[in-house]
Chains A and B, each alone.
Chain A
Amino acid sequence: MITLRRVVAVLALLSIPLLLLIGGALLVGSAPVSPRAVLRILTGAHTGGPEATVILDLRLPRVIVAALAGAGLAVAGAAFQAITRNPLADPSILGVTSGAAFGVVLAQLVGFALTPLHALGLTAFAFVGALLAAGAVFLIARTNGALPIQTLLLAGVIVGLFFSAAITLLISLADVNRLGGVIHWLLGNLSALSRPTLLLFAALLAIGVGLILTQTRQLNLLLLGEESALQLGVDAERVKRQIFIGASLTTAVVVTFTGPIGFVGLIVPHTIRLLFGGDHRLLIPASLVAGAAFLLFADTVARNIIAPSEMAVGVVTAFSGAPFFVYLLRTRYRSLP
């Protein structure tokens, strides 16, 4: 069995690349700021001027956004995989991301912007969209109380396609001048958020992730089978409902503040599982740290590869995630029902 010491050790180990990436991401960008200047700005030795603005108001908040979004997506992925008992479940593959995106586009066209107050409205729309999509997928896929892997994936694809079409419908009704903004967001783009908006993002994410993190022990017991879980005092339905809501909320929050970014919830928990095993008390917190590092890495690539223009980070995650999905499908899950 797993000990607290092991959890702490693994988290400490994973924090090393995360911290290195944070440092690296702060050093590179389209505006030339020397590493020395970055250090002086971060330590407060140098204040004011355009260089300080670049580091403190653009790069630092963006690094935080990337880390938060990556952490959220990875945890949501691990959570969906746990309650569906499907190793390929991920918010984007299950169509939940598309559902949330539909909610956000609808809210954007109604007039919500990404200011703190409006962001609450956007998140509400996204959450409803995510719940609708996830609920539909579960209802479609459920067969005799179980969720067969293939049926679940197909249901996810269908629901995802449906919501993509709904988004296309909204776009064709939209005013031309708003389109640039909507499409830009739809590609999955991270950008620096103002301090109040960033705080709201972190707070909402904490709620979603908290709902999942508090149930990791119960998730382990669920894997023994719902009957055994019940004998051990775990209300399986209640746990699953809470995880379902937590994962949908987490996905919705990330989609609201960064746009639909795929595959993070697939790659990260898988890698953690391969490296450290499937105990949820370790898997979920470790996915949180590794997810932050992965998306931060992807965003730093996206930010710099075609500077001064920027690539959408969703492109980078898809380019790494799609081959990974194929690899899993062809090697590890070939023989599954």
Chain B
Amino acid sequence: MTASGLGMRDQKFGNRDPGFGMRTPNPEPRTPNCVSAISMVSAISLLFVLALVSSAWGQAFTMRDMVGRELRLSHPPQRIISLVPSVTEIIFALGGEETLVGVTDFCDFPPAAKQKPKVGSMLDPSLEIIVASRPDVVVATDSGNRKETMAEIERLGIPVFIINPNNLGELMTAIAKLGELTGRKEAATPLIAGLTHRVDRVVQAVRPSPRPKVLYVLWSEPLIVPGRDSHLSELIELAGGANVTASDPHSYPRYSLEALITRAPEVIVLAQHGTGKTPRSKARWEVLDIPAIRNGRVHAVDGNIFHRIGPRMVDGLELLARLFHPEAFR
């Protein structure tokens, strides 16, 4: 990563030029003093170049990603590719979208993200397009992107910055890191404060109420639910629910319907993928004789809000709290 950062330094000198174009105040042509004017201009230009070189050296950009690897660039990154929809959402929320020169096909939020150049899918992005976009850095996650892809990108001389938040606390770290990466530190602080405040408000609101037993269904066929280490279990707890699959040691275990029925969930949350308004999977649940069905407490939610660890996760938390404790939000 270090070597590639150095390699990029040479390339970038020519391109990076705030004010560089103004360095040659147009010399008056055809005057008797032409020669001295030219030499003065060249002297001034030389000074400008030196100033630029030293400022570029001074601006060397260093920071660590979320797995502790050091990113070293000759200047703050101005061309970033995001291989993760949640990273794209965070960068937009920070107002750093001008730095984004490429996103995945799945980056659909906010709507403006769809206008960004596409580099392909999360698992199989086009390395050709990534290289041709001349990014300073590619942001990836180690849960969702392939290790092989990241190794390839680094082999091609492009640094990879890993963002892998796994819970709300780490989401705040991710926002801070991306704020620093995109030069939007000043936006990161209020964003984090706002999100933290909203989380606190939810926690306060649901505190007095008893916790309903909650079943969260990530995927219905096969049946995949959140286990102990999933951020969804944390969200459910914070929203004042008791996740019936929280004790499972895996993050996203496959469950049998039988095992779930015996736990008698009082609220079922079905994550929807895609845009279908009437979830087909809902019918499968409605024949079961469990409290959630009897009381009509089966809710379909937009999976993207819950499964992407981005700012919208707090929207998800508020939604869950309202579903679990309608009385507290009247």
Q: Closest residue of chain A to B164, judged by CB?
A: A177
Residues of A within 8 Å of B121, CB to CB, are 309
B105 at the interface (CB under 8 A from A): yes
- With contacts A50-B132, A308-B120 taken as known, whether A30 is within 8 angstroms of B126 at the C-beta atoms is yes
Stretch of B52-60, B142-150, B183-191 at the chain-chain interface: B142-150
B119 at the interface (CB under 8 A from A): yes
- Complex CA gap A59/B131 in Å reads 12
Q: Closest residue of chain B to A49, judged by CB?
A: B11
Give the Cβ gap from B219 to chain A, nearest Cβ, in Å: 11
Stretch of B29-37, B66-74, B152-160 at the chain-chain interface: B152-160
Q: Do residues B156 and A31 form an inter-chain contact, with CB atoms below 8 A? A: no
Give the Cβ gap from A50 to chain B, nearest Cβ, in Å: 5
Bin the interface of chain B by size. Answer: 20 to 34
The CB with the most chain B CB atoms within 10 A, among A48, A53, A58, A308, is that of A308
Q: Closest residue of chain A to B254, judged by CB?
A: A172
Residues of B within 8 Å of A307, CB to CB, are 126
A214 at the interface (CB under 8 A from B): no
Give the Cβ gap from A107 to chain B, nearest Cβ, in Å: 14
Q: Closest residue of chain B to A182, judged by CB?
A: B146
- With contacts A180-B123, A309-B120 taken as known, whether A53 is within 8 angstroms of B129 at the C-beta atoms is no
Q: Closest residue of chain A to B118, judged by CB?
A: A308
A279 at the interface (CB under 8 A from B): no
B48 at the interface (CB under 8 A from A): no
Q: Do residues B155 and A31 form an inter-chain contact, with CB atoms below 8 A? A: no
A180: contacting residue among B120, B126, B131, B146, CB under 8 A: B146
Q: Mark A275-288, 1 if CB is under 8 A from B, else 0.
A: 00000000000000
Give the Cβ gap from A165 to chain B, nearest Cβ, in Å: 16
Residues of B within 8 Å of A57, CB to CB, are 131, 155-156
A192 at the interface (CB under 8 A from B): yes
- Complex CA gap A29/B155 in Å reads 19
Residues 29-44 of A contacting B (Cβ, < 8 Å): 29-33
Q: Do residues B124 and A50 form an inter-chain contact, with CB atoms below 8 A? A: no
Give the Cβ gap from B307 to chain A, nearest Cβ, in Å: 12
Q: Do residues A31 and B143 form an inter-chain contact, with CB atoms below 8 A? A: no
A114 at the interface (CB under 8 A from B): yes
A310 at the interface (CB under 8 A from B): yes
Give the Cβ gap from B160 to chain A, nearest Cβ, in Å: 15
- Complex CA gap A176/B225 in Å reads 13
B128: contacting residue among A54, A113, A180, CB under 8 A: A54
B144: contacting residue among A30, A49, A180, CB under 8 A: A180
Q: Mark A49-92, 1 if CB is under 8 A from B, else 0.
A: 11101100111000000000000000000000000000000000
B127 at the interface (CB under 8 A from A): yes
Residues of A within 8 Å of B128, CB to CB, are 29-31, 54, 58-59, 308
A47 at the interface (CB under 8 A from B): no
Residues of B within 8 Å of A172, CB to CB, are 254
A191 at the interface (CB under 8 A from B): yes
- Complex CA gap A100/B144 in Å reads 26
- With contacts A58-B156, A191-B148, A192-B152 taken as known, whether A309 is within 8 angstroms of B124 at the C-beta atoms is yes
Q: Closest residue of chain B to A194, judged by CB?
A: B155
Q: Do residues A310 and B146 form an inter-chain contact, with CB atoms below 8 A? A: no
Q: Do residues A310 and B120 form an inter-chain contact, with CB atoms below 8 A? A: yes
A176: contacting residue among B145, B151, B252, CB under 8 A: B252
Q: Closest residue of chain B to A57, judged by CB?
A: B156
A184 at the interface (CB under 8 A from B): yes
Residues of A within 8 Å of B126, CB to CB, are 30-31, 307-310
A32: contacting residue among B120, B132, B254, CB under 8 A: B132
- Complex CA gap A59/B132 in Å reads 13
- Complex CA gap A114/B146 in Å reads 12
Give the Cβ gap from A189 to chain B, nearest Cβ, in Å: 8
Q: Do residues B142 and A177 form an inter-chain contact, with CB atoms below 8 A? A: yes
Q: Mark B110-130, 1 if CB is under 8 A from A, else 0.
A: 000000001111111111110
Q: Closest residue of chain B to A197, judged by CB?
A: B155
A225 at the interface (CB under 8 A from B): no
- With contacts A53-B157, A310-B124 taken as known, whether A181 is within 8 angstroms of B148 at the C-beta atoms is yes
- Complex CA gap A38/B125 in Å reads 22
Give the Cβ gap from A130 to chain B, nearest Cβ, in Å: 22
Residues 64-108 of B contacting A (Cβ, < 8 Å): 105
B251 at the interface (CB under 8 A from A): yes
Q: Closest residue of chain B to A307, judged by CB?
A: B126
- Complex CA gap A308/B121 in Å reads 8
Residues of B within 8 Å of A30, CB to CB, are 120, 126, 128-129
B294 at the interface (CB under 8 A from A): no
- Complex CA gap A57/B134 in Å reads 15
Q: Closest residue of chain A to B135, judged by CB?
A: A50
Residues of B within 8 Å of A194, CB to CB, are 155
The CB with the most chain B CB atoms within 10 A, among A30, A33, A184, A189, is that of A30
Q: Do residues B131 and A192 form an inter-chain contact, with CB atoms below 8 A? A: no
Q: Do residues A53 and B155 form an inter-chain contact, with CB atoms below 8 A? A: no
Give the Cβ gap from A305 to chain B, nearest Cβ, in Å: 13
- Complex CA gap A242/B118 in Å reads 49
Give the Cβ gap from B185 to chain A, nearest Cβ, in Å: 29
A31: contacting residue among B11, B129, B142, B144, CB under 8 A: B129
- Complex CA gap A220/B5 in Å reads 58
Q: Do residues B131 and A53 form an inter-chain contact, with CB atoms below 8 A? A: yes
Residues of B within 8 Å of A308, CB to CB, are 118-120, 125-126, 128-129
Q: Add 9 more A-B contacts to A177-B144, A191-B152, A192-B152 (CB < 8 A).
A: A30-B120, A31-B126, A31-B131, A53-B156, A57-B131, A180-B123, A180-B146, A181-B146, A181-B148
Could you write out 5 A-B pairs with CB less than 8 Å apart? A30-B126, A180-B146, A308-B120, A308-B128, A309-B126
Interface of B toward A, CB cutoff 8 Å = 11, 105, 118-129, 131-134, 142-148, 151-152, 155-157, 251-252, 254
Interface of A toward B, CB cutoff 8 Å = 29-33, 48-51, 53-54, 57-59, 113-114, 172, 176-177, 180-181, 184, 189, 191-192, 194, 307-310
Kindly list the 5 A-B residue pairs having the minimum CB-CB distance in the complex, ordered from nearest.
A31-B128, A31-B132, A308-B126, A30-B126, A308-B120
